A and B are shown apart, each in its own frame.
Chain A
C-alpha cells in the first residue's frame, strides 16, 4: 500500500510545485520525481522478473469496482524499459530544452506533462481493471498529445498533434468496445473477467474480441495499416519526446497485445498467422517508405513501424509455436519479440537523441541540406553510427541478437513443420532478410549523407557539438547496446519468467532456454569477440606498417575532373533513385518543378515529396468522400436565423407528435425484427 501511495504522491507533489519554480528548479523537480518513481518501480519490476509478482487490490469506486494492481514478469520487463527510457530521455531533455529557456510557461507545462506521461505509462503496466486502465490510457494519450505540441507555433506541429489525437482516440474507441463487450456480459471490469468470458465462449467469439483489442493496441503500436499518425507525430515532437514515444510509448501497444494474449483463450495458430502477416507487411512496408524520406526524424519514424513489425513477427511466431505445441518456436519467438522490444527502445531513442543534437546544431532535419557533420560533431557521429549498425541488425550489436533469436526459431522449426506453416516461415525469413537489407540501404544513406562527405549547405551560424552532459545519457545507451550484443545471456536470463507466462498457456515444458541454445548464443558472442579482436589487431598492424610509409593528403579523385564542389556529391535522392524507380508502383512520389531540357538548359529545379500510398487510400480518400457527402447537406447550415428557428420548431413538433404515431413505430419495429 505504501508503494502505491508514494507512487501517487511523488508525481502529485512534483506537478503541484513545478509551476512556482525557477527554470533550474523545474528541471530538478521533474527529474527527481521521475528518478524516485523509477527507483521504486524498478525494485518491484526486478522482483517480478525473478518470480515474485506484486499484487494489490485497491478499493476502487462504485463504478469501477475493486481495482486490481498486478506487476507480473511481463509488466516488469516493460516497466524496466520505460524507466530506462525516461531516465535517459529525461536527462537528455534537461539539456535539450535549454535552448527554449525563455519560454518559461511552456516549459512548466512540458515538465508537468513529462511527469504525467511517465506515471500514466507506469500505471498502464500495473492496472488490471479495464475502467481504470482506460483512464490511465487517456491520460497517457493526452499528455503525449500536449508534449508533441511543444513547438505549437508551427502549423505542421499542430497538424501532427491533432492527427495523433484523433487516431489515438480511434484506438481508445476499439479498446472501449472490447472492454464494454466483456463488461456487459460479465458485469465486471476486472481483467480476470475477460479471461473467464473467453473461456466460457467459443473460439470464434474470443477471436473477434481479440481482434478488437488487437486493432486498438495496433493503432498505438503503429502496425500498418494503422500507422499513419506515427510519421507525423515523431518529427513534430521535441527530440527527447520523440525518443520516448518511439522507445516506449508505442511499445505500450505491444504490451497490450501480449497482455490480451495471456487473458483471452483462443486458437493460437489462427491469431499467430494473422499477427505474423500484419507484422511482415508492417516491417517491409515501413522500411520501404523509410528509405524515401528526406526528413531525418520522419525516416526514423518509419523505421519504428518496421521494428514494430519485427517485434510482431516474434509474437506471431510465438503464437504459432503455442498452437502447434512447438516449445522452441514458442519460447524463442516470444523471447525474440521481448528482447527486440528492449533493443528497439534503446537504439531508436539513441537515434532520436542524436537527431535532436543535429537539429540543435544545424536547425534543420532535411537530410539533403546536411553533410560533413563528422568533422563538426564527432561524438554524435559515433553514437549515430553505433545505433545505425544496431538497427540494421549487424553483429556485434544488440539488434543482431534479437533477430538471430527469431531466425533460429524459424530455421530450427522448419524441418518438422506442416506445409502451411512452412510457407509462412519461408515468407517470414524472406521478409526478415529483406527488412535487414533495406534497413542497411536506408542507414548507409542516412549516415553517409548526413555525416560524411562535404557540407551541402552553408549555415549562417556555427555548427558545433552539443555539451558533454547532453551526450552523457547517449553514451550510457550506447554502452547498453554493446553489452546486450556481447553478453546476451544476461538478458535472456531475465526473459525466462516473461516467456514462461506464455508457454504456460498451453503447458509447454519450458523451464529456461535449453543448454543448446545458450551454447549457441555463447558461440555468437565468441564469434563477435573474434571479429572485434581481429579488427583491433589489423588496425594495430596497419598503424605499424603505415608509420614507415609515406602518407599524402590530397583532394578526392574525381576521375580527372579538377573543379569538384560540394554540389556534385551524391545526394540522398540520388543514392536511392534506382531503388525508387525499381519499386515505383509501391510509392506515391509527387514531383514539382521544371526539368532540365534542351542542349543549353535554362535554370531548372525539381522537388520530390514522397507520400504514403496507404494513407491516401485508407485515410485521405475516405475522408474526402465523406466530406463531399456531408457537403451535400451544407444547405441546411445556411447561416440564416429564420431557418434555424424553423428547425427548432420542426424538432419540437416531431417530439410532441411521437405519442400520436406511437403505434406506427411499434409496427415498424416489429417489422424490422421480423427481418
Chain B
C-alpha cells in the first residue's frame, strides 16, 4: 500500500524533473515541474479524434495499457512493506502483465493502418523482446543470491555485505535504469522530442491517440518511470527504518530523474540499427551479474 502511494507521488514529478533538467542544461528556464500532470489533466478534459480505419482494438488498447502498468505497480514493494499483490514469482507476473499492455499498444498502432505507426510498432516489438531477457536474468541472479522468489522477499533479504555485492548492486541498478529507458522509449534508444516521425519509436505509435486515451497513455508512461525508480531504490534500501527510507526514496527518484535528464541532454540518440546491439549488451551485463552472484554464493568451487 505504502509503495503504491509513494510511486504515484513520485510519478507526479519524475517526468517534470527530467524536462526541467534538460531545459536548464540547454540554458532555458523550462516549464514547471508539474507541467506534465497539468498536460494530462487537460487531455482528460479534451474531446477525441478517432481514425476511420480503427476498430474496437484502438478503443480498448489505451485502457488495457494503462491498467497493465497500474497492476504492475501494485506488485512493487517498498523496503519491508509488501506491495498490494505479493506472491512467489510475482516478478514474472510483473513482466508478463506489462507484456499484455505492450501487446495492445502495438496492435493499436497497427489498427490505424498508418505506415509510420506500423514502423513504431515493429521497433517496439523488437526492442521489448530483446530487453526482457536482461530483466529475467537479473531477477534470476537475485533469486540465486537470496533464495527467494518474490520482489519483497528478495529485496529485504538482499544484504550488501561484501564489495562484490556492492558492485553487483550498482550493475543491477544500471541494468534496471536502462530497462526503464527502453520501456519508456527514452534517450539512448529513442528520442521523445525528435521532430521526425521516421526516427521515433514510442511517440509515433500514439500519433492517432487523442483526448482521454492519450492522457491514459501519458500517465502510464509517468508511472512506469516511477516504478523502475522504486525498484532501483529497493535494491539499496535493505532494512532501513521508514522515517529514513521515505525521504531517501524521494531523493533517489529525484536523482534518477536528474540522471535521465543529463543523459538526454548530453548524449545523442543511437542509430536505429545500433539499438538492438545495445540491448543485447544489456543482457550480457546481466549475465555478468549472474556470474558475480555465482561467485558471491560460492557455487563456483
Tell me if A374 counts as interface (CB < 8 A to partner B): yes
Tell me if A516 counts as interface (CB < 8 A to partner B): yes
Quick one: given A389-B103, A436-B132, A452-B113, are A582 and B50 in contact (CB under 8 Å)? no
Q: Which residues of chain B are within 8 angstroms of A452 by Cβ–Cβ distance?
A: 55, 57, 107, 110-111, 113
Q: Which residues of chain B are within 8 angstroms of A426 by Cβ–Cβ distance?
A: 137, 140, 287, 290
- Contacting residues of chain A (503-539) with chain B, CB-CB under 8 angstroms: 516-517, 519-520, 523-524, 526-527, 530-531, 534-535, 538-539
CB nearest neighbor in B for A521: B87
Per DSSP, chain A at the interface is: helix
Is the Cβ of A554 less than 8 Å from the Cβ of B87?
A: no
**A contact residues vs B (CB 8 Å cutoff):** 371-372, 374-375, 378, 381, 385, 389, 392-395, 400, 403-404, 407-408, 410-412, 414-416, 418-419, 422, 425-426, 429-430, 432-434, 436-438, 440-441, 443-445, 447-449, 451-454, 516-517, 519-520, 523-524, 526-527, 530-531, 534-535, 538-539, 542, 545-546, 549-559, 564, 566, 568-570, 574-579, 581-582
Is the Cβ of B100 less than 8 Å from the Cβ of A395?
A: yes
Quick one: given A527-B71, A570-B115, are A395 and B132 in contact (CB under 8 Å)? no
Tell me if B112 counts as interface (CB < 8 A to partner A): yes
Quick one: given A389-B100, A440-B125, A531-B71, are A551 and B114 in contact (CB under 8 Å)? no
Checking A414, A546, A575 against B211 with a beta-carbon cut-off of 8 angstroms, the contacting residue is A546
Q: How far is the CA of A443 from the CA of B111 in the complex (A)?
A: 14
B63, B109, B115 interface centre (most CB from chain A within 10 Å) = B115
Q: How far is the CA of A419 from the CA of B197 in the complex (A)?
A: 48
Tell me if B44 counts as interface (CB < 8 A to partner A): yes
Having A444-B103, A564-B115, one finds 12 other A-B pairs with CB under 8 Å, namely A416-B147, A437-B128, A449-B110, A452-B110, A535-B67, A538-B66, A542-B63, A549-B45, A551-B49, A555-B51, A568-B115, A570-B118
Is the Cβ of A578 less than 8 Å from the Cβ of B123?
A: yes
Quick one: given A569-B118, A576-B122, are A393 and B110 in contact (CB under 8 Å)? no
Is the Cβ of A535 less than 8 Å from the Cβ of B113?
A: no
CB nearest neighbor in B for A397: B100
Q: Which residues of chain A are within 8 angstroms of B85 by Cβ–Cβ distance?
A: 523, 526-527, 530
Tell me if B102 counts as interface (CB < 8 A to partner A): yes
Checking B119, B125, B147 against A415 with a beta-carbon cut-off of 8 angstroms, the contacting residue is B147
Q: Which residues of chain A are within 8 angstroms of B208 by Cβ–Cβ distance?
A: 556-557
Is the Cβ of A433 less than 8 Å from the Cβ of B115?
A: no
Measured CB to CB, the closest approach of chain B to A548, in angstroms, equals: 9
Contact with A along B78-119 (1 / 0, CB 8 A): 000000011111101101110110110011011111111111
- Contacting residues of chain B (251-293) with chain A, CB-CB under 8 angstroms: 272-273, 276, 283, 287, 290
CB nearest neighbor in A for B110: A448
Q: Which residues of chain B are within 8 angstroms of A448 by Cβ–Cβ distance?
A: 106-107, 109-111, 118, 121
Checking A429, A445, A453, A517 against B112 with a beta-carbon cut-off of 8 angstroms, the contacting residue is A453
List, sorted by A's number, 20 A–B pairs whose CB atoms are closer than 8 Å.
A392-B99, A395-B97, A414-B140, A419-B299, A425-B140, A430-B136, A430-B137, A433-B135, A434-B129, A436-B99, A454-B53, A527-B85, A527-B93, A531-B68, A551-B48, A552-B48, A559-B116, A569-B118, A578-B122, A578-B123
Tell me if B149 counts as interface (CB < 8 A to partner A): yes
Number of interface residues of B (CB under 8 A): 88
Q: How far is the CA of A557 from the CA of B109 in the complex (A)?
A: 12
Contacts between the two chains (Cβ within 8 Å), count: 267
Q: How far is the CA of A577 from the CA of B273 in the complex (A)?
A: 11
Q: Which residues of chain A are within 8 angstroms of B96 by Cβ–Cβ distance?
A: 393-395, 400, 403-404, 436
Is the Cβ of B212 less than 8 Å from the Cβ of A545?
A: yes
- Contacting residues of chain B (209-224) with chain A, CB-CB under 8 angstroms: 211-213, 216
Checking A394, A411, A578 against B126 with a beta-carbon cut-off of 8 angstroms, the contacting residue is A578
Is the Cβ of A570 less than 8 Å from the Cβ of B89?
A: no
Quick one: given A448-B110, A556-B112, A556-B208, are A453 and B143 in contact (CB under 8 Å)? no
Tell me if B133 counts as interface (CB < 8 A to partner A): yes
Q: Which residues of chain A are within 8 angstroms of B117 by Cβ–Cβ distance?
A: 570
Q: How far is the CA of A434 from the CA of B280 in the complex (A)?
A: 12
CB nearest neighbor in A for B94: A527
Q: How far is the CA of A539 from the CA of B65 in the complex (A)?
A: 12
- Contacting residues of chain B (197-249) with chain A, CB-CB under 8 angstroms: 197, 207-208, 211-213, 216
CB nearest neighbor in B for A375: B55
Nearest 8 A/B pairs, CB to CB: A570-B118, A448-B110, A437-B129, A550-B47, A453-B113, A523-B87, A415-B147, A556-B51
Q: Which residues of chain B are within 8 angstroms of A403 by Cβ–Cβ distance?
A: 96
Q: How far is the CA of A403 from the CA of B45 in the complex (A)?
A: 41
Q: Which residues of chain A are within 8 angstroms of B119 by Cβ–Cβ distance?
A: 570, 574
Quick one: given A419-B294, A429-B136, A454-B53, are A530 and B74 in contact (CB under 8 Å)? yes
Measured CB to CB, the closest approach of chain A to B49, in angstroms, equals: 5
Quick one: given A419-B294, A549-B46, A552-B47, are A394 and B64 in contact (CB under 8 Å)? no
Is the Cβ of A440 less than 8 Å from the Cβ of B103?
A: yes
Q: How far is the CA of A422 from the CA of B299 in the complex (A)?
A: 9
Q: Which residues of chain A are within 8 angstroms of B213 by Cβ–Cβ distance?
A: 542
Q: Which residues of chain B are within 8 angstroms of A407 by Cβ–Cβ distance?
A: 89, 92
B92, B139, B300 interface centre (most CB from chain A within 10 Å) = B92
Is the Cβ of B103 less than 8 Å from the Cβ of A557?
A: no
Q: How far is the CA of A422 from the CA of B67 in the complex (A)?
A: 35
Is the Cβ of A582 less than 8 Å from the Cβ of B276?
A: yes
Tell me if B70 counts as interface (CB < 8 A to partner A): yes
Q: How far is the CA of A291 from the CA of B27 in the complex (A)?
A: 47
Q: Which residues of chain A are within 8 angstroms of B64 by Cβ–Cβ distance?
A: 535
Q: How far is the CA of A403 from the CA of B273 in the complex (A)?
A: 31
Tell me if B144 counts as interface (CB < 8 A to partner A): yes
Is the Cβ of A557 less than 8 Å from the Cβ of B207?
A: yes
Q: How far is the CA of A517 from the CA of B88 in the complex (A)?
A: 8
Q: How far is the CA of A454 from the CA of B51 in the complex (A)?
A: 12
- Contacting residues of chain B (141-193) with chain A, CB-CB under 8 angstroms: 143-144, 146-147, 149
Is the Cβ of B107 less than 8 Å from the Cβ of A447?
A: yes
Q: Which residues of chain B are within 8 angstroms of A444 by Cβ–Cβ distance?
A: 103, 106-107, 110, 121, 125
Measured CB to CB, the closest approach of chain B to A316, in angstroms, equals: 17
Q: How far is the CA of A444 from the CA of B125 in the complex (A)?
A: 8
Is the Cβ of B51 less than 8 Å from the Cβ of A549?
A: no
Q: Which residues of chain B are within 8 angstroms of A535 by Cβ–Cβ distance?
A: 60, 63-64, 67
Q: Which residues of chain A are within 8 angstroms of B60 by Cβ–Cβ distance?
A: 535, 539
Q: Which residues of chain B are within 8 angstroms of A443 by Cβ–Cβ distance?
A: 103
Q: Which residues of chain B are within 8 angstroms of A385 by Cβ–Cβ distance?
A: 57
Tell me if B130 counts as interface (CB < 8 A to partner A): yes
Is the Cβ of B300 less than 8 Å from the Cβ of A419?
A: yes
CB nearest neighbor in B for A407: B92
